[in-house]
């Protein structure tokens, strides 16, 4: 069973087609980078995966559950870290996680056990009582990942998760998320427009104007990923 299947997905904002017959799949336990220039359709795809937007055409299946026909079962498998942080800066790390666990209806004892596990996994145990505003950008992202994993999803979406981070923090975050894939069989879909966030062994999906224009292991695109990306995602010439 695939972790994620996107089938013939189409979405339009009025006359503007944002996604056009998009189709791809992800296997469990893989790190996949969704790469595309601004306006390629990455944010629209994330909005559809998280049901911020309703499906117009096509379907999305998350570990076999159709987002159209069984949305609750599908969304239970999903954790999300959005580009813009949604943490409460004036609450502690512990309080942010406890509040999120309560929203998911987790009993207090079970919630605390999961919080302990995720704090250890994200190497944040010593920061549990710090207010979020006291953390640097990389640690805030780790808190968001811990929060996203509290309900034990099997698919984690990270939408431009490195935005605003310095190069060292971006590198550390990418390394940390890949470790989660390798050690815990978590499936990750990481959207970005930054080529240096892609590693040779990643599954790579390239979007251009709402269409999938290339797919495969990143190292299959040659030594110069930038040149391949520019060639494959360049805007189509205008028709006379």
User: What pLDDT score was predicted for residue 235?
Assistant: 58
Using alpha carbons, list the distances in angstroms from residue 149 to 18, 72, 146, 177: 29, 17, 5, 12
Tell me if 206 sits within 8 A of 35, measured CB to CB. yes
Q: With a cut of 60, say whether residue 185 has pLDDT above it.
A: yes
Mean predicted confidence (pLDDT) in 113-136: 92
- Predicted TM-score (pTM) of the model is 0.86
What does the pLDDT average to over 125-130? 94
Contact (Cβ atoms closer than 8 angstroms) between residue 136 and residue 169: yes
Q: Which of 159, 177, 149, 175 is nearest to 29 (CA)?
A: 177
The Cα diameter of the chain in Å comes to 67
Q: For the chain, what are the domain ranges?
A: 89-152
199-216: per-residue pLDDT in tens? 888 999 999 999 999 999
Calculate mean pLDDT across residues 11-29: 94
Tokens of 64: 């076999």
Kindly report which listed range (7-16, 103-112, 154-163) carries the lowest average pLDDT score.
154-163
Out of 41-50, 77-86, 96-105, least confident range: 77-86
């Amino acid at each position: 069973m695939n972790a994620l299947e996107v089938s013939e997905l189409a979405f339009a904002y009025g006359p503007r087609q944002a996604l056009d017959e998009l189709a791809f799949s992800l296997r469990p336990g893989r790190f996949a980078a969704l790469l595309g220039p601004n306006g390629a359709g990455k944010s629209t795809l994330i909005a559809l995966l998280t049901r911020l937007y309703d499906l117009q055409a096509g379907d999305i299946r998350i570990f076999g559950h159709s987002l159209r026909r069984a949305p609750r079962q599908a969304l239970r498998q999903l954790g999300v870290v959005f580009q813009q942080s949604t943490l409460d800066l004036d609450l502690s790390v512990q309080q942010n996680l406890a509040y999120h666990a309560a929203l998911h209806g987790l009993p207090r004892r079970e919630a605390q056990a999961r919080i302990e596990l995720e704090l250890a996994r994200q190497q944040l145990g010593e920061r549990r009582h710090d207010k979020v505003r006291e953390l640097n950008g990389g640690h805030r992202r780790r808190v968001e990942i811990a929060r996203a994993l509290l309900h034990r999803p099997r698919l984690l979406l990270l939408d431009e998760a490195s935005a605003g981070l310095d190069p060292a923090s971006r590198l550390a975050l990418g390394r940390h998320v890949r470790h989660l894939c390798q050690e815990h069989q978590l499936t990750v879909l990481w959207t970005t427009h930054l080529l240096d966030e892609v590693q040779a062994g990643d599954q790579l999906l390239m979007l251009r104007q709402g269409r999938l224009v290339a797919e495969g292991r990143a190292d299959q695109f040659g030594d110069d990923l930038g040149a391949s990306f520019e060639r494959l995602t360049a805007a189509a010439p205008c028709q006379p």
